[in-house]
């Protein structure tokens, strides 16, 4: 396998513009002869489906939800970054680029990140024109707020529902194209397999989640925008349906998987209450603008928070990172929370929690201002916990929130399979080993609105539309039969346990051994436990009902089966990366005060894994990273 | 604080759109008050699978009150007893030990039942597709600050834009009208300068599609507003009606346009 990132020559600032010019074009009248299959309708998929249809391509878009408006991008709360410098606080494209590379602990490609920062401003313009109701100043101009890992205010927001509003903007653009007949939308359809013809991506096999019908769809290119795989941990801030199946099927057909061990554990989520827990809910990072994080200074202090005097509290982020304080990046804040809880100073019934306190901000700004800024988040907290955060501090704890890893893509967002493109969280490209807040929305929309419309054309210009296979092509039939066989296999196991049972068990293994802190012994243990659990899964699974109707148990089983395999690859990648960087913290590589220690000499690279067959160890390939425009330094937020 | 409840569920079970369907009783024991309503159903479903029976089918996804995919009628109320709360955000502390809970799908002619508590709400997508957008192809937008929006209008637009498309408004309405859903989108775009060029064609096109989808009409019951988990206000319907009247009076059949004057 060859990893050619296809990064254009020339100075950093000119690479994208030069590349856009160098890419071949598809004649406007020819565009309608190319059929593009897009899986996923979130920020990346929805934006791409709309934009490619506007260009004239024949687009089909698929989502498992009942409407494209429900993709989990909708749950992003805090905001979207852009280098507008509307605050006059010394922001610039270069600073956004620099902050993102540094935030990712120098494990992302400079060229990709710079392009992301460049198009960030176009995204804001596009969304405003669509009618996204961003927060405004009294003069009618756009407002901003601060987010973690940056010392400028560059985050645009729509109350605590920025993801929702951006997604609805993309959704409405998509619905417009559906109405015009330019996009054929397949809701309640889940991709089950990728179709390759002579090694080139030419289609997908889907299951209709209402009728159970297995269908093949052929096209000239396939785009996966299916989000991240954090649900591998079972408890995560993802929607329940989020899964790895699309990218995992592609991996098993030859697409390299980049940095699978890079997961983001978000510092501010509502803590677990019991075994019944089905998901975890995020409290936006924007709360850290005004909330102060603390735990009791003494071990086992059981007093109510308002009974603990100021001098007996430990505002540990402010103490350890005075220049960034409560706005330290996510990986660092999460680890700090784990450290104080491991130290026996956690709060709440389980001891796995820290306070996020708004008492000072309420005194300074008044309750009304706090409500205006965070009212919906406070209400959500109250709904879930039964506690009023206007009166008692929130209790929060880290939870799995995002995966920086994903399918390896080149500068054109194409995977190692020709014709297979991957966007948004599903690819590995822009965030290195840690993503900064408000950058996921930026990347999803950048890929969908402003990157793929150019780079896809460059690919299509090199192939004839008549090269598309017919649905009765042997490769298509073979893929379809393999999906039918897999469904039959699930239904015929006839064991005793539910897919949720196995999912929960898998999640426990990964959270314990491949979560916020990892070490060699633990990872080796996980690599022994996961195959055992997987064997049990395939022996003892029970799925009632049939495949020819709505069967949510069957859907879940398919997703869990893929998570079972992915979990093993994550542990393998974590074991092989013998350094600490960003969200990947290996206990063997830390400073005496618990900070991550990178090994740039041996690990300044992307690990891209190639599937070699079931039961065989995959091959680890390396894409070296070079830092010519940033200083490869120890990341400090002190 | 955590307690446990024993409750009796009366759940609508319907194999498919053709099946007449009916209520089935289940007992749910050891239900923690910390659980969400959907987590309680998860427990019931796990037990059903263990017994070899088919679990209850219901729609859900984000489980944090924003995606709009969940929606059950609980004791006769869409999304259940708590105001401004989606089904997934409802927690069992809202119920008492020994309670009977009746669970039904969102019912409307425009939303056929697919299975059990899952319904087909694709009519909402078709209404948006008919005009619930601003026609702005990617790449042609002016600078974001070139279009100032008074803060008050931006806030009102955001209030309306908070709609999650769950369809509780339709389920609550005696006429199964989609007016609140539609008015929310029409208001959001009508309150913003970007939405002005298509303001009147939008309201006509969306209302035409609503009629084609077998939704009822609005007779000012206000049940929709009471059921809305996102506090979408009835005033949006008034705003839409004003725009619709203006659009109808100025409509020019020869061009399909009107209302711009």
Judgement on whether residues A188 and A157 belong to the same structural domain of the protein: yes
Judgement on whether residues A555 and A587 belong to the same structural domain of the protein: yes
Domain boundary among A467, A495, A514: A467
Return the SS3 of A331.
helix
A143 DSSP assignment: P
Residue B12's DSSP bridge partners are B23
| Residue numbers in B near A161 (CB within 8 A) | 66, 162
- In this structure, what CATH number is given to the domain that contains residue A587? 1.20.58.100
Q: CB–CB of A214/A480 below 8 Å?
A: yes
Domain boundary among A384, A400, A416: A400
Give the domain range for residue A360: 267-400
Q: Which of B55, B66, B157 sits opposite A544 (nearest CB)?
A: B55
Beta strands in A367-453 (DSSP E): 394-403, 406-407, 420-422
Q: CB–CB of B96/B42 below 8 Å?
A: no
pLDDT at B1 over 60: no
Q: Does B212 touch chain A (CB under 8 A)?
A: no
Q: Identify which of A289, A279, A249, A283 has the alpha carbon closest to the alpha carbon of residue A266.
A: A283
Q: Does domain B4-115 have CATH number 3.10.20.30?
A: yes
Which residues 92-131 on chain B approach chain A with CB closer than 8 angstroms? 93, 114-115, 118, 120-122, 124-125, 128-130
Quote the CA–CA distance of A239 and A261 in Å, as a whole number: 20
Judgement on whether residues A189 and A324 belong to the same structural domain of the protein: no
Q: Angle B175-B177-B178 (CA atoms, 0-180°, nearest 5)?
A: 165
The answer to whether B115 contacts A549, with C-beta atoms less than 8 Å apart, is yes
Confidence (pLDDT) at B261 = 45
Judgement on whether residues A415 and A493 belong to the same structural domain of the protein: no
Confidence (pLDDT) at B259 = 60
A612 is a domain residue = no
A2 is a domain residue = no
Q: Under 8 Å CB-to-CB from A541, ≥6 apart: which residues?
A: A490, A493, A495, A497, A498, A499, A502, A557
Quote the CA–CA distance of A82 and A99 in Å, as a whole number: 12
Instruction: Tell me whether residue A366 is exposed, middle or buried, using C-beta atoms within 10 angstroms of its C-beta: 0 to 12, 13 to 18, 19 or more.
Output: exposed
Judgement on whether residues A478 and A463 belong to the same structural domain of the protein: no
Considering its fold, how many domains does chain A have in total? 3
What pLDDT digit, counting tens, does each position of B208-256 carry?
Answer: 999 999 999 999 999 999 999 999 999 999 999 999 999 999 888 777 7
A593 is a domain residue = yes
Q: Which of B93, B133, B158 sits opposite A133 (nearest CB)?
A: B158
Residue A39's DSSP bridge partners are A62, A224
The answer to whether B62 contacts A496, with C-beta atoms less than 8 Å apart, is no
User: Taken in order A357, A363, A367, A372, is the CA torsion positive or negative?
Assistant: negative
| Residue numbers in A near B68 (CB within 8 A) | 67, 69-70
- In this structure, what CATH number is given to the domain that contains residue A376? 3.90.700.10
| Residue numbers in A near B132 (CB within 8 A) | 172, 175
A531 is a domain residue = yes
Give whole-number Cα distances, B149 to A127, A139, B196, B201, in Å: 14, 8, 12, 22
Confidence (pLDDT) at A243 = 98
The answer to whether A175 contacts B93, with C-beta atoms less than 8 Å apart, is no
Give whole-number Cα distances, A160 to A77, A87, A157, in Å: 5, 20, 7
Q: Angle B130-B132-B137 (CA atoms, 0-180°, nearest 5)?
A: 95
- β A257-258/B118-119 pair status: unpaired
Instruction: Tell me whether residue A306 is exposed, middle or buried, using C-beta atoms within 10 angstroms of its C-beta: 0 to 12, 13 to 18, 19 or more.
Output: exposed
Instruction: Tell me whether residue A543 is exposed, middle or buried, using C-beta atoms within 10 angstroms of its C-beta: 0 to 12, 13 to 18, 19 or more.
Output: buried
Judgement on whether residues A318 and A282 belong to the same structural domain of the protein: yes
Give whole-number Cα distances, A368 to A270, A363, B156, in Å: 23, 11, 18
Judgement on whether residues A367 and A503 belong to the same structural domain of the protein: no
The answer to whether B115 contacts A550, with C-beta atoms less than 8 Å apart, is yes
Q: For residue B156, how many other CB atoms are within 10 A of its CB?
A: 20
Judgement on whether residues A368 and A448 belong to the same structural domain of the protein: no
| Residue numbers in A near B14 (CB within 8 A) | none
Quote the CA–CA distance of A49 and A101 in Å, as a whole number: 29
Give whole-number Cα distances, B61 to A369, B162, B163, in Å: 32, 18, 16
Judgement on whether residues A417 and A367 belong to the same structural domain of the protein: no
Is residue B258 very low, low, confident or very high in pLDDT (cuts 50, 70, 90)?
Answer: low
Residue B77's DSSP bridge partners are B74
Q: What is the pTM of this model?
A: 0.97
**Three-state SS across B35-73?**
CEHHHHHHHHHHHHHHCCCCCCCCCCCCCCCCCCCCCCE
Q: Which CATH superfamily is domain B121-249 in?
A: Alpha-helical ferredoxin (1.10.1060.10)
Quote the CA–CA distance of A344 and B67 in Å, as a whole number: 37
Cα-flanking dihedrals φ and ψ of residue A492, to 5°? -100, 0
CB-defined contacts A:B, below 8 A: 229
A361 is a domain residue = yes
A516 DSSP assignment: S
The answer to whether A47 contacts B164, with C-beta atoms less than 8 Å apart, is no
A161 is a domain residue = yes
Domain boundary among A467, A485, A500: A467
A3 is a domain residue = no
Query: DSSP of A170-239, one letter per residue?
Result: HHHHHHHHHHTTSEEEE-SEEEEEEEEETTEEEEEEEEETTT--EEEEE-SEEEE-----GGGGSSSSS-
Q: Which residue of A has its CA nearest to B51?
A: A496
Low-confidence ranges of chain A (pLDDT < 70): none
A516 is a domain residue = yes
Quote the CA–CA distance of A82 and A95 in Å, as a whole number: 11
Question: Domain-by-domain residue ranges, chain B?
Answer: 4-115, 121-249
Q: Which residue of B has its CA nearest to A134?
A: B154
Which residue of B136, B192, B212 is the best one to mutate when testing the A interface, meaning the one whose CB has the most A CBs within 10 A? B136
**Three-state SS across A59-85?**
EEEECCCCCHHHCHHHHCCCCEECCCC
Judgement on whether residues A482 and A593 belong to the same structural domain of the protein: yes
């Amino acid at each position: 396998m060859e990893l050619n990132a296809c990064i254009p020559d020339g100075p950093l600032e000119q690479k994208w513009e030069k590349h856009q010019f160098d890419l071949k074009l598809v004649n406007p009248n020819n565009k309608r002869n190319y059929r593009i299959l897009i899986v996923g309708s979130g920020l990346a998929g929805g934006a791409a489906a709309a934009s490619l249809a506007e260009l004239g391509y024949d687009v089909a878009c698929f989502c498992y939800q009942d409407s494209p408006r429900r993709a989990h991008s909708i749950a992003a709360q805090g905001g979207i970054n852009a280098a507008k410098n509307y605050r006059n606080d010394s922001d610039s494209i270069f600073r956004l680029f620099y902050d993102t590379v540094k935030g990712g602990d120098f494990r992302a490609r400079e060229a990709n990140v710079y392009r992301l920062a460049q198009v960030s401003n176009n995204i804001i313009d596009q969304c405003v024109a669509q009618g996204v109701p961003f927060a405004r100043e009294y003069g009618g101009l756009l407002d901003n707020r601060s987010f973690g890992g940056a010392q400028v205010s560059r985050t645009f927001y729509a109350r605590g529902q920025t993801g929702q509003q951006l997604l609805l903007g993309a959704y409405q653009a998509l619905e417009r194209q559906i109405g015009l007949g330019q996009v054929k939308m397949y809701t309640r359809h889940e991709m089950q397999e990728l179709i390759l013809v002579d090694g080139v991506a030419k289609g997908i096999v889907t299951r209709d989640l209402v009728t159970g019908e297995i269908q093949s769809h052929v096209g000239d290119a396939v785009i996966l925008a299916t989000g991240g795989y954090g649900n591998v941990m079972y408890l995560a801030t993802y929607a329940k349906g989020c899964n790895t199946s699309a990218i995992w099927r592609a991996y098993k057909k030859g697409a390299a998987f980049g940095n699978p061990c890079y997961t983001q554990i978000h510092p501010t989520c509502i803590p677990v209450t019991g075994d019944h827990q089905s998901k975890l809910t995020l409290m936006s990072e924007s709360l850290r603008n005004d909330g102060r994080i603390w735990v009791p200074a003494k071990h086992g202090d059981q007093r109510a928070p308002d009974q603990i005097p100021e001098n007996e509290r430990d505002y540990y982020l402010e103490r350890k990172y005075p220049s960034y304080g409560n706005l330290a990046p996510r990986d660092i804040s999460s680890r700090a929370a784990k450290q104080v809880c491991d130290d026996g100073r956690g709060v709440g019934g389980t001891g796995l929690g820290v306070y996020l306190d708004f008492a000072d901000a309420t005194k300074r700004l008044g309750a009304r201002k706090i409500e205006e800024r965070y009212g919906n988040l406070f209400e959500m907290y109250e709904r879930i916990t039964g506690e009023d955060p206007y009166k008692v501090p929130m209790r929060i704890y880290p939870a799995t929130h995002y995966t920086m890893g994903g399918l390896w893509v080149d500068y054109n967002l194409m995977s190692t399979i020709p014709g297979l493109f991957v966007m948004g969280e599903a690819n590995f490209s822009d965030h290195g080993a840690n993503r900064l807040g408000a950058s996921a929305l930026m990347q999803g929309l950048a890929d969908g609105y402003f990157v793929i419309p150019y780079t896809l054309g460059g690919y299509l210009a090199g192939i004839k539309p008549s090269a598309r296979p017919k649905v009765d092509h042997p490769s298509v039939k073979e893929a379809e039969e393999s999906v039918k066989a897999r469904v039959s296999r699930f239904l015929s196991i006839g064991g005793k346990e539910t897919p949720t049972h196995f999912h929960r068990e898998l999640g426990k293994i990964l959270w314990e051994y491949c979560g916020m802190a990892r070490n060699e012994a633990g990872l080796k243990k996980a690599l022994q436990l996961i195959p055992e659990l997987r064997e049990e899964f395939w022996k003892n699974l029970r799925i009632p009902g049939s495949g020819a109707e709505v069967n949510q148990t069957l859907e879940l089983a398919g997703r869990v089966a893929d998570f079972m395999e992915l979990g093993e690859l994550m542990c393998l990648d974590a074991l092989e990366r013998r350094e600490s960087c960003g969200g990947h913290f290996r206990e063997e590589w830390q400073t005496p005060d618990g900070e991550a220690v990178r090994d740039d000499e041996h690990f300044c690279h992307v690990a891209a894994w190639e599937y070699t067959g079931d039961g065989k160890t995959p091959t680890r390939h390396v894409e070296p990273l070079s830092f010519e425009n940033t200083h490869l330094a120890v990341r400090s937020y002190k | 604080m955590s307690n446990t409840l024993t409750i009796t569920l009366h759940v609508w079970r319907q194999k498919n759109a053709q099946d007449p369907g009916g209520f089935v009783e289940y007992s749910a024991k050891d239900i923690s008050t910390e659980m969400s309503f959907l987590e309680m159903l998860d427990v019931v479903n796990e037990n059903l699978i263990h017994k070899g029976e088919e679990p209850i089918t219901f729609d859900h996804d984000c489980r944090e009150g924003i995606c709009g995919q969940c929606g059950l009628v609980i004791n006769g109320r869409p999304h259940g007893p708590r105001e401004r709360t989606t089904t997934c955000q409802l927690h069992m502390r809202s119920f008492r030990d020994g309670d009977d809970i009746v669970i039904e799908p969102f019912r409307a002619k425009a939303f056929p039942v697919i299975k059990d508590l899952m319904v087909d709400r694709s009519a909402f997508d078709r209404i948006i597709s008919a005009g619930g957008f601003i026609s702005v192809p990617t790449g042609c937008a002016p600078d974001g600050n070139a279009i100032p929006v008074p803060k008050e209008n931006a806030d009102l637009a955001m209030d309306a834009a908070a709609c999650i498309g769950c369809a509780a408004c339709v389920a609550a309405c005696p006429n199964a009208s989609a007016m609140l859903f539609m008015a929310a989108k029409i208001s959001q775009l009508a309150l913003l300068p970007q939405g002005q060029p298509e303001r009147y064609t939008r309201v006509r096109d969306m209302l035409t599609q609503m009629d084609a989808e077998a939704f009822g009409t609005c007779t000012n019951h206000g049940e929709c507003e009471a059921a809305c988990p996102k506090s979408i206000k009835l005033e949006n319907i008034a705003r839409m009606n004003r725009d619709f009247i203006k659009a109808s009076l100025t409509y020019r059949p020869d061009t399909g346009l009107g209302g711009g004057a």
